[in-house]
Amino acid sequence: MFLYLEYELLGISIVLLPYLLLIFLVFSELSDAFDGFLARKFHQVTDLGKLLDPMADSIYRISVFLTFTQPPVNLPLLLVFIFLYRDSVISTLRTICALRGFALAARATGKIKAVIQAGCAFLVVIMLIPFSVGAISQATLRSTSIIAVAVAALYALYSGIEYIWANREFVIRLLTDKGSKE
């Protein structure tokens, strides 16, 4: 985030910036995948990890998209809020369920959502390459980014609704059961 927002302060040219951002994105996404792979391979998957890992991934990706609300990309904040609200609702639901003694598993749609968001982040950064050399306008960069992120936001909404629907028994239980662990 700091690199994107303060590249001039750091003495980085606009032409070099997208390549550095790409390196950081690749490292971040690969380290997340590698972490999950290692946890499963060495049987180090825990309930706490199941709860915290998606939250950390969500915070990371939302931070990336929040950064892109600033120039030159200028994404509308509303699109990022869709990610934020969706992930906040799902994380809160998972946390409350965990505190009540039942874990809600991740869904395939949530994993697909994460892949789509990562793909959008890569697309935006890759679009910065032709922008940085004047091959595309800022308007083209912005409109292409908005379309891609809007598609990701629509899928995020779908995955959130699907998650709640798939876990509706737990949701109903949370809403109707006063529970002894309050």
Share of the chain above pLDDT 90, in %: 71
Nearest residue to 79 via CA among 92, 58, 89, 65: 65
List pLDDT tens digits, range 102-134.
778 789 999 999 999 999 999 999 999 999 999
Residue 2 inside a domain? The answer is: no
Residue 166 inside a domain? The answer is: yes
The answer, yes or no, to whether residue 148 has pLDDT greater than 90, is yes
DSSP for 68-135, written as a single string: TTSTTT---HHHHHHHHHHHHHHHHHHHHHHHTT-PPPP-HHHHHHHHHHHHHHHHHHHHHHHHHTTS
Residue 24 inside a domain? The answer is: yes
Residue 181 inside a domain? The answer is: no
Residue 3 inside a domain? The answer is: no
The answer, yes or no, to whether residue 180 has pLDDT greater than 60, is no
List pLDDT tens digits, range 5-23.
999 999 999 999 999 999 9
Residue 182 inside a domain? The answer is: no
List pLDDT tens digits, range 45-89.
887 777 788 888 999 999 999 999 999 999 999 999 999 999 999
Residue 155 inside a domain? The answer is: yes
Coil, strand, or helix at residue 178? coil
List pLDDT tens digits, range 34-45.
888 888 889 888
Q: Domain count for the chain, please give it.
A: 1
Nearest residue to 90 via CA among 62, 63, 51: 51
Domain housing 93? 8-176
**pLDDT at res. 40:** 85
Residue 110 inside a domain? The answer is: yes
The neighbour count for residue 167, using CB atoms within 10 Å, is: 20
